[in-house]
Structure 1
Amino acid sequence: MSKQLVLIVEDDPEIAAILTAYLEKEGFRTRHAENGVVALALHAEERPQLVVLDIRMPEKDGWQVLAELRSRGSTPVIMLTANDDDIDKLSALRFGADDYVVKPFNPAEVVARVQAVLRRVQPAVVTEDLIYSESIDISLTHHRVMVRPSNLNIAPRLTMTEFRLLEHLARAPDRVFSREHLLEACLPEGETLPRTVDSHISKLRRKLEEAGVEGLLQNVRGFGYRLGRR
């Protein structure tokens, strides 16, 4: 974790300097963006492992930046909000943030949350054609899903959409993906309703459970779905 890069997006130079000092003390590399436009440019150029993102900023606000980041991929994001109410908190999670911190905050808490989020979103072990966790091995080249400990290949039972959903979720175990994200990333162009994801997930969960894999595919009420590490 010591070499990981954190992009701090904060228009208050004093807050940015404090976060920079605390994160670098813990061994992180940091870059600072003073507004949303600079943040998106730095994200594209530097490919940080995590973004600490203030909501209220000039040029582009945090919501606009978060939306753009989610259209690019799944870089972990921790939102900084000045509102200690449920609206910003729930909105942050629903729009794809991994965590949030309310201002004023203890910078040591922000560092702890950065470390926790990075631990949580560590990808499954990925080789050129294999993704594997404790319960399943997914071979992309051979279109195979081996379930442990039975070594049963359930790929022939899965539709292409179910296979794509399982692969996508397995690349970031424990990360919560919204229906909208999964719809865009995994479903055919003709399927445009987020609730369609529920049907595919339900069928995929049933097939996993029938193969003896219980509790791996999880519904996070109000937010989306994740694949556990079991």
Structure 2
Amino acid sequence: MQQQPYESPPAGPRPPLAGAARVLVVDDDPTVAEVVAGYLDRAGYVVDRADDGPTALARAGAHRPDLVVLDLMLPGMDGLEVCRRLRGQGPVPVIMLTARGDEDDRIMGLEVGADDYVTKPFSPRELVLRVESVLRRTRPVAAPHPLGAAGLAVDPAARRATKNGAELALTLREFDLLAFFLRHPGRAFGREDLMREVWGWDFGDLSTVTVHVRRLRGKVEDDPARPRLIQTVWGVGYRFDPDGQEVD
């Protein structure tokens, strides 16, 4: 889709809403950073900016963000390493920006825990919608019902998941994916279905789903190479099997 890269945001700052989420924008391109920050500011977010990895980590340490918009190609410390270190400080949703169209770069970002990615050039309005979508899924739902099966337990209100009583370190999307599987045991879903139901998108790169399923298996399966709980249904997608019968 052809578009004008980085159209300017509407003029004039808008005071952030009460209790507004804090977004850290990390990009060494001042034009991109200014435009993205401007759109987020107009959307009512509190925006911090950094143009390199060390500064981003320092800003995140001083004021913990609710979400990070992170460029993959940063000088010195790249976005992958920044993402790893941010995760080391605690859970935080990350949307990764990349100027490359190469699938390997996108998958690497997802592998280190990015919740979403956007390829440059992009529409700042679309990015704001992605930010809103990710943040919406971090908010507790009303009167959520705890879920559990096969030694796994999920508390949607506390955003806490355990396996046999031990807490699981899940990213935002991994948590949502596990909760969705637990709500629908024994039912097969295509990757398109999972993207729509878990990510809330009607379009997108389906490798996002594949990578997150692989990462989730690595945390909930006794042997991720021979998964029993999250099974591949060939020609369809994936199915959560609480009985854990291995499929040849």
Could you tell me the TM-score, scaled by structure 2's length? 0.57
Structure 1 stretches lacking a partner, 5+ long: 126-131, 138-144, 148-159, 183-193, 206-213, 218-230
The residue number in structure 2 matching 1:50 is: 67
1: distance between equivalents of 2:56 and 2:23?
A: 11
RMSD: 3.8
Note if 1:105 corresponds to 2:122. Answer: yes
Note if 1:133 corresponds to 2:144. Answer: yes
* Cα 1:77–1:174 shift into 2, 3 Å: same
2: distance between equivalents of 1:5 and 1:181?
A: 27
The residue number in structure 1 matching 2:107 is: 90
* Cα 1:204–1:102 shift into 2, 3 Å: closer
Q: Is the 8 A contact 2:93 2:134 kept in 1?
A: yes
Q: Is the 8 A contact 1:124 1:171 kept in 2?
A: no
The residue number in structure 1 matching 2:3 is: none
Q: 2:137 aligns with which of 120, 125, 150?
A: 120
Q: Is the 8 A contact 2:93 2:172 kept in 1?
A: no
The residue number in structure 2 matching 1:23 is: 40
Count of residues in correspondence between the two structures: 172
* Cα 1:195–1:109 shift into 2, 3 Å: closer
Q: Say which structure is richer in helix.
A: 1
The one-letter code matched in structure 2 to 1:174 is D
Report the alpha carbon displacement of residue 56 of structure 1 after superposing the two structures with TM: 0.8
Q: Is the 8 A contact 2:28 2:74 kept in 1?
A: yes
The one-letter code matched in structure 1 to 2:67 is L
The one-letter code matched in structure 2 to 1:162 is N
The residue number in structure 1 matching 2:187 is: none
Q: 2:166 aligns with which of 151, 164, 167?
A: 164
Report the alpha carbon displacement of residue 203 of structure 1 after superposing the two structures with TM: 8.4
Deviations 1:76-106 (A, max 9, x none): 0000001112111111111100000000111
Q: 2:87 aligns with which of 63, 70, 81?
A: 70
* Cα 1:180–1:72 shift into 2, 3 Å: farther
The one-letter code matched in structure 1 to 2:62 is E
The residue number in structure 2 matching 1:199 is: 222
Q: Is the 8 A contact 1:179 1:197 kept in 2?
A: no
Aligned residue for 2:139, secondary structure, equals coil
2: distance between equivalents of 1:170 and 1:88?
A: 19
* Cα 1:196–1:94 shift into 2, 3 Å: closer
* Cα 1:216–1:196 shift into 2, 3 Å: closer
Report the alpha carbon displacement of residue 28 of structure 1 after superposing the two structures with TM: 0.5
Deviations 1:160-217 (A, max 9, x none): 8522246x669984167979988xxxxxxxxxxx957411897889xxxxxxxx9699
* Cα 1:171–1:25 shift into 2, 3 Å: closer
2: distance between equivalents of 1:14 and 1:170?
A: 30
Could you tell me the TM-score, scaled by structure 1's length? 0.62
Aligned residue for 2:73, secondary structure, equals coil
2: distance between equivalents of 1:52 and 1:18?
A: 13
Aligned residue for 2:96, secondary structure, equals strand
* Cα 1:204–1:170 shift into 2, 3 Å: farther
